[in-house]
Structure 1
Amino acid sequence: MRTRPRSRALTLAAALLATAGLAATGVSAAAAPGRAEAHGPSAPRQVEAWTSGAKGQTGATTERLSAAPVSPGAPQGGTTVRVDPHVKYQTMTGFGASITDSSAQVLYGIPKDRRDTVMKNLFDPATGDGTSFLRQPIGASDFVKGPDYSLDDVPAGQTDYGMKHFSVAHDEKQILPLLRQAKRLDPELKIVGTPWSPPAWMKTGGSMIDGKLIDSPAVYRAYAAYLVDFVKAYAAHGVPVDYLTVQNEPQALNRNNYPGSDMSFEQEAKVVDALGPALKKAGLRTKILGYDHNWSEHPNDIKAHEAVGEDPEVDYPYDLLASDAAKWLDGTAYHCYAGDASAMTALRASFPGKDIYETECEGGTITTGLDSVNNWAKTVVYWNIALDENHNPHQGGCGTCNGTVTVDSKTGAVTYNSQYYALGHFARFVRPGAVHIGASATRSDATDSPVQTSAFVNTDGSTAVVAHNTSTTAAEPVTVVAGGRGFTATLAAGATATYSWR
């Protein structure tokens, strides 16, 4: 079992872990300072409890993980969370965010020793958040300072089907060094690469902003070669790419100030049909994920397609998985900005052999994470891992997005945001390879419980339960029961707790 998070000045300033015996339900316990122990022939398990997000009397929220007390005991009213390891769902891949151009720039704007501390707090699984999954833009996204760019830019009117001008030199300055550092801190880290646009010379209109991929077999082959070269180049720089998607938010039209492409499911299927064999021929094990857009099509995107006489393709992920290209797809990637997380469960019911991933959720909360996990997502991914206090740098797109951490552009001071702690409740205690298991929350008075929860068993045999009190006004007594043993705790209004034991 890995070492749990310890105190650190910049982030948690937390006390040493509070522990309690996970005693057989109903058995009395004798308390010792900082620990409750059950007596009897069976040695008790110790429970680590960490909490954040409690609402104070003034309405302020405590935004840091702190040790929390738990006690052995039987249900005492409130909510009972029953954990059932015999009910197994998906195997988790990881939890994380994205080191965008903007994130890299603000992190490189602070001294190396401070940057190293931030990286440890973000990625170290023993002393930090243990971020275990990153979604990396291939070329420019909206979060970049300066002009749009791809990894194969040529003058207007020219083409480069042979990829002679392909280069990741832009990423070598800041992004790749940070990715290598993250990988050193957490060797289990996985990466998905995502383009916001193909190179401009592959598109109608000749621009990375808006337009479509040219409908030509030669262009599909070239785009596949472009993505394969990205994977090969990153691997050569010490950064393996585990997954690819072929287009960020393919249903979005009218990207008038940052890179984007409208890509129908028919076109995406053609790209995947070219990419799958190209990856195989190159001897690469990188998996392909389809779609990479919202749980349901955004109403604005539907209107935009209808306005130009196009089918909105509201069943895009279903149509893609029903196509011949599905044989090359490992699963489907989703974003959280429209629709409901239950869409992922519905898709999996129709295609049970294909996995589900949540790959972008700016402003994501612990609720977003729990909703995603409870609907088969193998990953929970927020967005920028770092931005400045003005939500910058960015070029078009979202002007109010927050980073997992904020780096003050004037002082270099680092603030760890609510997203950091939401991420920590999962990533610190639910490691890659953990299995999502059964967990139910019921209230003793038969009313709806305010507690939202998920449970996991790690590969080392440890169990983690994430519980969130959705009530912002009242604390909730919580009893967690697993295997005939139980412990009790109080979950403050608005608070989240992670309970972990072997």
Structure 2
Amino acid sequence: MLVKKAAVVSLIPAASLAATSSQTEITIDLQSRYQSVDGFGCSQAFQRAEDIFGKYGLSPKNQSYVLDLMFSRERGAGFTILRNGIGSSNTSTSNLMNSIEPFSPGGPSKPPHYTWDFYNSGQFPLSLEARARGLPYIYADAWSAPGYMKTNQDENWNGYLCGIEGESCPSGDWRQAYANYLVQYVKFYAESGVKVTHLGFLNEPQEVVSYASMGSNGTQAAEFIKILGQTLEREGIDIELTCCDSVGWKEQEDMIPGLQVIGSDGKSAEDYLSIVTGHGYSSAPTFPLSTKRRTWLTEWTDLSGAYTPYTFFADGGAGEGMTWANNVQTAFVNANVSGFVYWIGAENSTTNSGMINLIDDKVIPSKRFWSLASFSKFVRPNAVRVGAVSTNPSVTVINNGSSDASLTINLGKTNRVARTVTPWVTSNDYDLEPMSPINVKGGSFLATVPSRSLTSFVTECG
């Protein structure tokens, strides 16, 4: 990865580096511009926010430390996207997320009984802390409607929204009531001093699981998007609407045709959307989605491995830092995403589901964290991905090979003159650490990329 100026980013296509000592030349093409970038982030849903605030013994000092690691650009990754869960539970036992309307008002047309605790399963104070450190985007996403709005009368185990195409309930049609519910959540945040910038209403609708979940196909999602979009318009709420957080990239692609059907009003559901969202579990983001909207990878993690904190590369395992550096690079270059959101940022766990491990009063960042930080710290919102051409197609700035790579990097044609460039290296030996600056001569510079590493070259322009 090479960052040039504040607003232009070059993400060089990722591929394995064969062991070689030959000189390779990479030319940055500032005229070939691709997608804009919204950034990188994580979630602290299902009460993981409380882990940060000392639920399991983290001291105030280390609470500040982990918040800085995640959201401060000067002291950490400077993540720009926080994905909050819109709760659907009537209890906060276990790791459940509280609903703002925990019990049915008696029917979809009855006056709602909303409640707001200024806490939101720890996510509201987390949002305040993240915003104070510069976070621009808060993505509020519902895993499910409350159970009383669904065909199975349960927030868990899938079930469908009552009244959506093909699904009816004795209690009536809850589509508008659910839209009102989501809008009220956004209002509670706004009235409390935090603007929600992005709003979603589904999570992995293909999955039947024992936690909050709700089913939908593309046509059903499109039906509700129009109701929610029109409700937001009537309320005068400026927010970016998203859909559909499918369990995999292919599954999200399968939902898109339903979102693009033109209705009798001359509009499709896609017209109401700003961003199409998908996950990487059942199928990775390796191709562009067939949409005219920006796309975000909004959830992905290693769900199987024991916590791997110190390994950037060993054998290519699912939890290693290099694996995630390549996942990010592939998502941006091959799938054309504008945002990449890892599942959990920090949690009290001994698995790889989080990027930062919190045990007792210890904060242990993983190499996965430092890999995402290598992008997020420098690739800021409104940056633009530009082209790069290499004389050796197997060489990238993510060096997957077992040998160091010698590079000549040409910065391309620009009106600004780069005088020096600083390599920031993440590897088994380094956690996003700056190396000695390199002088730029005639618009190019020579560099060595260590084996098994991710290097961000940051230019200083005069």
**With structure 1 as the length reference, what TM-score do the two structures score?**
0.69
Q: Which residue of 1 aligns with 2:249?
A: 295
Q: CA separation in 2, counterparts of 1:115 and 1:204?
A: 41
Query: Mean Cα displacement is larger for which, 424-433 or 106-115?
Result: 106-115
| 8 Å CA contact 2:62, 2:362 repeated in 1 | no
Q: Which moved more, 1:87-96 or 1:358-367?
A: 358-367
Name the residue aligned to 1:434: 383
- Matches of 1:357 and 1:169 in 2, distance apart? 30
Partner of 1:128: 76
Q: How far apart are the structure 1 equivalents of 2:253 and 2:276?
A: 15
From 387, 394, 405, the counterpart of 2:356? 405
After TM superposition, give the deviation of residue 475 of structure 1 in Å: 2.4
Task: Give, in angstroms, the shift of residue 419 of structure 1.
Answer: 2.3
Distance 2:301 2:116 in 1: 26
The answer to whether the aligner puts 1:497 opposite 2:426 as a matched pair is no
5+ residue gaps in structure 2? 5-20, 165-171, 263-267, 303-322, 413-441
For residue 382 of structure 1, report the CA deviation from its aligned partner.
0.4
Aligned equivalents of 2:93, 2:405: Cα separation in 1: 43
* Letter of the structure 1 residue corresponding to residue 234 of structure 2: K
Q: Tell me, in whole angstroms, the C-alpha distance in 2 between the residues paired with 1:88 and 1:276.
A: 31
Superimposed CA distance per residue, residues 366-407 of structure 1 (whole angstroms, 9 cap, x where no aligned partner): 11111111122111110111111334xxxxxxxxx4212110
TM-score (norm 2): 0.75
Separation (CA, whole Å) in 2 of partners of 1:184 and 1:354: 29
Q: Does 1:98 align with 2:43?
A: yes
Amino acid at match of 1:357: W
Deviations 1:66-125 (A, max 9, x none): xxxxxxxxxx83433221111111111111101223321211121222211221121111
Q: Deviations over 1:267-293 (max 9, x none)?
A: 111111101111111111111112211
Counterpart selection for 1:83 from 5, 9, 28: 28
Distance apart, 1:422 and its partner CA: 1.4
Q: Which amino acid aligns with 1:362?
A: T
Of the candidates 140, 158, 174, which is equivalent to residue 122 of structure 2?
174
Q: 1:390 to 1:131 in 2, by over 3 A?
A: same
| 1:371 and 2:343 correspond | no
Query: In structure 1, what residue type is equivalent to 2:75?
Result: T
2:300 is the counterpart of 1:361: yes
Corresponding pairs, count: 373
Match in the other structure for 1:424: 373
Deviation at 1:258, TM superposition (A): 0.7
State whether residues 47 and 122 of structure 2, in contact with CA within 8 Å, keep that contact through their aligned partners in structure 1: no
Query: Does the 8 A contact of 1:148 with 1:258 survive in 2?
Result: no
| 2:398 paired residue number | 468
- Is structure 2 residue 334 aligned with structure 1 residue 334? no
Change (3 A) 1:485 1:163: farther
* SS class of match (1:241): coil
Contact 1:291 1:317 in 2 (8 A): no
1:259 to 2:226 alignment: no
Change (3 A) 1:135 1:79: farther
Between the aligned partners of 2:380 and 2:110, the Cα distance in structure 1 is 41
Match of 1:454 in 2: none
Query: How many angstroms does 1:144 deviate by?
Result: 8.0
CA-atom RMSD, angstroms? 2.6
Q: Percent identity, aligned pairs only?
A: 25
Deviation at 1:314, TM superposition (A): 6.7
